[in-house]
Structure 1
Amino acid sequence: MCYSFGQKVFITTSIGPTLADTPRSSPSTLLDVARRAGVSPSTVSRILNGTAKVSDDKRRAVLTAIDDMKFAPNQMAQGLKKGRSMTIGIVVQDISSPFFDETLRGVDDGLKGTGYASVIVSGHWNAEEEADRIRLLLARKVDGIILLSGRIDDDTVLSFAGQRPIVSTGRAIKTRTALGFKMDNEYGAYLAVRHLIELGHRHIAFISGPTNNTDAADRLAGYTRALREAGIAIDARLIVEGNFHEASGMLAMNRLFDTGQPFTAVFAANDLSAYGARLALYRKGVRVPDDISLVGFDDLPGSAYTTPPLTTIRQPLYDIGRIATHALLRVINGEEARGEVPPLELIVRETTRRLR
């Protein structure tokens, strides 16, 4: 038989026991725990939220009762009492990118055991769309927002932070309700190019990111600083713009060959661009690293499994997500926002070798 209740449809069958015949066990309540432990319900509540001043024996009795009865406090109900939705909004730029996937894994682990759920939206590297998504999250009464990179300016972020706490990556801000974590992209690029220079390379091409991206600009600055320090002239023909995606890395590598300028090494502004560049080199019969050395930036999980494994600059993507989450929860709880992520580091694998 089929019964309709509003928008939901429940289907039953006459075969086997009916719903009324099936024994049901109701979940344990706070009152049940109080009775088992021999204390008042308010005492159980205060022990759960950490405000109770009780004897060790009484606390032990309550915790034992909770364990025996498998009592699980209703996190949503507790949040509502505090005026919270128990949700965190997360703004990514590309949900299909392994860069954001690794950071989201850190966010997810950072939320474990907190009672918070996440709502994920995408800004698609568009400032207007990004701002609209933040307004959508605010309308849904999220308790805070984690903004992973993005195109909106700092003033706009600070304006939104006046409504809900925001922790952002890729920018250096710090107020009572806003905190930014910015990696030293310039230094990371400097490490990558200096590594190639130390291997004897003097003609080093660069596949950059988009010109309107601050991370890309910082990595270009690191590339040029390393060359200047080594006394190597900067050849604009060896700098080709990409957009941080695989296809652009492949096209950029083809354009480098079209210039006719000789080069023995390539630094790609991110790992995805390096993957595309590697494919272009393969199709041209150019061996890596025998003929050309290749360096990426990010150290995505797949970079250790390319052919050959990619030398790259490691960004602590997972750590960034986890630390940003902990920082946001601190702000939500009225505590000082703080956190520090590990520095960038060079990971040498098999796509670079000393110039013969």
Structure 2
Amino acid sequence: MTSPTKRRPRAPANRSASEQSSTLQDVARLAGVSASTVSRILNGHVDSAKRDAVEAAIKKLRFKPNLVAKSLRSGVSMAIGVLAQDFDSPYTSRAAKGVEDELMSCGYTPILISGHWGRDSDEAERVRLLMSRKIDGIVIIGGRLSDEQLLDLSEQQPMVVIGRSCHGPRLRSLSMDQRLGGYLATRHLIELGHRRIAHIAGLEDYPDAIGRMQGYMDAHREAGLSVDQRLITRGDFNEPGGARAMESLLETGVEFTAVFAANDQSLNGARLVLFNRGIGVPSQISLVGFDGLPFSAYTVPPTTTVRQPIYEMGCTAGRELLRLLDVNQLNDTPIGPLDLQLVVRGTTAPPAK
């Protein structure tokens, strides 16, 4: 007895042939135009009555352009590499969101990869990994690559870097005055009457951390106050690092009435330690952060911080890279000012008498 012949399953009855294998020629035929006209419209080069007919045909046939083939023909992938330091960081995610929104408004797709706060050699390897993916350019958010490394890498790929001050023929950068921000935060505490101000610094050798500490020093110098080096401790821009730094400060037994933390996340870690020890904020210790992340307005009490326009910086970086790529039709929506702002809320007050 022979077994019955197995039949190949048919495509679902409700799925039309046009949905299964529509081609550019099918679109042209339905729209009543040439295939070359369809191609030009898909590439944004034709703006006429023909566009409506082609778009109607694309919608009816559910046509999807072959982006891989298009990339091979044009040499343009419409993809941008984005190197961020830590996907868990609210700063990184907010900046990356700005980059993404700006790129996608012009039809580009971001490809994200993390640098993991690595050494400069690790970051350079990550950049090379992105370059191997046939991207058109790169946006780097933060990092430790030297100016020389950035210039060298930009010779291979157009590049924009957030948080740096370096430029080249194919390299642009975007930075806020971190030193000014550190100064504004510390001066605010001094104006409230604080004289013993601790500083939870960021990662060693990281440009933002260096600038903010310099601003902390500047405010003391301007007020004629000396800085007790025992009140400077190192964090890592994350909550656990801020908690360890606050524990270290308290264990020294050195008196202080206020803390300037290098970022809002470090401040949150420090605040938890104070809460667990029954130390009031701001009744006993005042706290100032940096970044102005959205959650800082919703803590109890709300956080005094130096706000930097993180999302707007991401948008600006994305737009600047598109300019480097000579994209014709840029998003013309105003991005907003790129200014630092001291936002005074509930974590600062005059020192207790």
What TM-score bracket applies, with the shorter chain setting the length?
Answer: 0.7 to 0.9
TM-score using structure 1 length: 0.85
- The corresponding residue for 2:93 is 101
**Range with greater deviation from structure 2 (321-330 or 161-170):** 321-330
What is the rounded CA distance, in whole Å, between the counterparts of 1:248 and 1:20 in structure 2? 57
Structure 1: gaps of 5 or more residues: 1-12
Give 1:11-50 correspondences, 5 Å limit: 18-20=9-11, 22-25=13-16, 26-27=18-19, 29-50=23-44
Q: Select which of 229, 250, 268 maps to 2:261.
A: 268
- Partner in structure 2 of residue 89 of structure 1: 81
8 Å CA contact 1:76–1:86 kept in 2: the answer is no
Conservation of the 8 A alpha-carbon contact between 1:320 and 1:341: no
The residue aligned with 1:235 is 228
Which one is further off, 305-314 or 80-89?
Answer: 80-89
* Larger displacement relative to structure 2 (76-85 or 179-188): 76-85
Residue-pair matches, total: 338
Query: 1:323·1:341 contact (CA, 8 Å) conserved in 2?
Result: no
Change in Cα spacing, 1:193 to 1:61, as seen in structure 2 (3 Å) is same
Report what 2:270 is aligned to. Answer: 277
> How much has 1:58 moved relative to structure 2?
4.2
- Please report the TM-score for the alignment, with normalisation by the length of structure 2: 0.86
Q: CA 1:48–1:84 in structure 2 vs 1: closer, same or farther (change >3 Å)?
A: closer
- Superposed, 1:287-302 pairs within 5 Å as 287-302=280-295
CA RMSD of aligned residues (A): 2.7
The code of the aligned residue for 2:76 comes to R
The answer (yes or no) to whether the contact 2:98–2:312 under 8 Å persists in 1 is yes
The match for 1:8 is none
Residue matched to 2:3? none
Structure 1 residues 129-160: Cα deviation after superposition (integer angstroms, max 9, x where no partner): 11111121222222211111111211111111
Q: In structure 2, what is the Cα distance between the partners aligned to 1:198 and 1:314?
A: 19
3-state SS in 2 of match to 1:297: strand
Query: Residue deviations 1:51-109, cap 9 Å, x none?
Result: 34x7x544554455556666554444433321123322221222222221221222222
Aligned to 2:110: 118
Residues 1:175 and 2:168 are matched in the alignment: yes
User: Which of these residues, 172, 182, 190, is aligned with residue 189 of structure 1?
Assistant: 182
State the SS of the aligned residue for 1:120.
Answer: strand
Report which stretch shifted further, 158-167 or 65-74. Answer: 65-74
Inter-CA distance 135–61: structure 2 relative to 1 (3 Å threshold): closer
State which drifts further: 312-321 or 31-40.
Answer: 31-40
The secondary structure found in structure 2 opposite 1:221 is: helix
